Homo-oligomer: A and B are copies of this chain.
Amino acid sequence: MTDIFRDETPLMSLDDDTLHEECGVFGILGHPDAATLTALGLHALQHRGQEAAGIVSYDGTKFCSERRMGLVGDHYTNPVTLAQLPGDRAIGHVRYSTTGDAALRNVQPLFAELEIGGIAIAHNGNFTNGLTMRRKLIADGAICQSNSDTEVVLHLIARSRSASSSDRFVDAIRQMEGGYAMLALTRTKLIAARDPIGIRPLVMGDLDGKPIFASESCALDIIGAKFVRDIENGEVVVCEIQSDGTISIEAFKPQAPKPERICLFEYVYFARPDSIVGGRNVYTARKNMGINLAKEAPLEADVVVPVPDGGTPAAIGFAQASGIPFELGIIRNHYVGRTFIEPTQSIRAFGVKLKHSANRAVIEGKRVVLVDDSIVRGTTSVKIVQMIRDAGAREVHIRVASPMIYHPDFYGIDTPDADKLLANQHATLASMCKYIGADSLEFLSIDGLYRAVSGAPRDPQAPLFTDHYFTGDYPTRLVDRDGISNVRQFSLLANNG
C-alpha cells in the first residue's frame, strides 16, 4: 500500500490506494491544561484520522464541547477555541469515517445528559453488532441523532439501571462486540476500555501524576508524558477525582479473558513509526519486514527506492540486508493543498504527479527495486511504475513488505469491497505483476511478517495478531454481517446542516 496521499485527506478521492483507520483517542484527568494537552495529543495522533476532531472538557460545572471538520491544527491551536474548553479533564478524538458519514453530528466525542449527569465518549474501532443493537434501541423508542455506531453505547449507558456511571459504562460495552479502544468522561471520572482481544491499541501514560490515555505512545511523547503501560485486552480502567483532589485508579476485566490479538496493520501501516505498540517499536518492525523481504525475495538491482513515506523503513531494511544502495528515487511534493479534493478534470488527469515525481538522476538506466508497505487495489502502483519507467529505469521490481490482502475488515479499517482488492482480481502473482507493469513483484509471507513483528512465525492454533485481511481468520463473531438483515443504511436523514 502506497501512502502517497496519506497526509492530506482530500487527496484520498483523487488517486488513492490505501486503507484508512477511523480514529484516535486521547484523554487526561486532573491537569489544569487539559484541553491544550488533549489538542497536542490529538495532533500527534492525526495520522489515525484527518477528517474531523473533537474535544469535550468538564470544568466542575458544565461540559464543554468543540467539534470541527478538518485537522487538529486548523482549529484547536486557536486561543479562542481552547478558551471554550475550560476544566482540568478532557477527552478528544480524531476520526476517519468508517460507519457514519462525515457530517458534524457524527464527530466525536458524543455527549449525552443522563439522570446521573453528563457523559462523553470517544471511540476508535468498530462494532460488529452495532447495526443490530441500533435497530433494537430504535424499536424500543430511542432516538438516534447521529449515524455513528458509537451512539449505541451512549443509549445503552442511558438505559442501564446501574447506579454509577462506570457500572453503566461496563453494562453498555458488555453488550457490544468488535474492536474498540474507548474513553469516557463523566463529571468525576475518566474511563478507558479495550475490547476483549485488544484489536485496537490503547496506552496509559502519566504527566505530573495525572493519568492519560491515548491510542499510541507518540501522543505521550509530544507532551513529555511517561509511558506507563498498555491497557490490556478486555480491561477497563476507571480514574476518579476524589473529593480531596487525589485521583484513584481502578482496573478490572469485566468479561471473561481471551488471548490478545492486536491488529497486524497497526505494525504494517497505521501506527506512527516512533510509537511502541504492544511493546514493540513500529519502525523496527517495519525495517525487519524489509530485511525479511530481502531474504525471501532477493534479486540483483542497482538501487532500492522507497515509495514514500510508508515504504521508507522497509526500504532501509531491504537495502541493508541486500547491500543494494538506498536512494531517494521518488520526490514528494509536500505542498498539496487541501482543496485539490475537487480539482478540474484537466488537473485530476495529472494524478500521482501532483504529489510525487521521479528523480531521474538516480533512476535513469538503473535496475530499480521499489519497496512499498502494502498494496490494496494496485491502482497507484500502476502509476508509480509507469512514472519510474518514464524516468528511464532499465528494470522495475516491486517488493511489498506485507502479504496480499484478500478480506475486508470489520473492526475499524475502511477496506474496499473484496472484489476491488488486487489479490482478488488476479489468479496469479504473474498476472498481478503484469497488471502493475513491473518486471517482478513479490510480497512478504505471513510468517515473514509475524517474524518481523514478534520474532516467531504464525501459530495457526493461536495466532498472536488479528490478521483476517491476509488469512480470512476473523477473531470475533460478525453479528451484523451474518444477521438476517445486512442493511448498510444507518439513517433516513440525508443531511443535516
Contact = CB atoms under 8 A, between A and B. Distances in A.
A66 B283 CA distance: 44
A44 B333 contact: yes
A207 to B, nearest CB: 13
Interface residues of A, number: 103
Interface string A459-497: 000000000000000000000000000000001111111
A342 interface: yes
Interface string A98-128: 0000001100000111110110000000000
B357 A274 contact: yes
Given A273-B359, A340-B77, A494-B65, A113 B138 contact: yes
Nearest to A65: B496
A388 to B, nearest CB: 12
A36 B343 CA distance: 10
Interface stretch (A152-160, A247-255, A407-415, A427-435): A152-160
A320 interface: yes
A335 B50 contact: yes
A280 B309 CA distance: 26
A258 B141 CA distance: 32
Nearest to A33: B346
Contact of A222 (B47, B78, B326, B357): B357
Interface string A6-40: 11100000000000000000000000010010011
Contacts of A333: 43-44, 46-47
B339 A77 contact: yes
A62 B159 CA distance: 29
Interface in A323-349: 325-328, 331, 333-340, 342-344, 346-347
Nearest to A75: B339
Nearest to A47: B335
A71 interface: yes
B491 A113 contact: yes
Nearest to A144: B113
A496 B67 contact: yes
Contacts of A70: 337
A64 B334 contact: no
Contact of A493 (B62, B331, B350): B62
A46 to B, nearest CB: 4
A274 B361 contact: yes
10 contacts: A6-B334, A36-B347, A43-B354, A62-B492, A65-B494, A75-B339, A273-B331, A281-B359, A281-B360, A334-B334
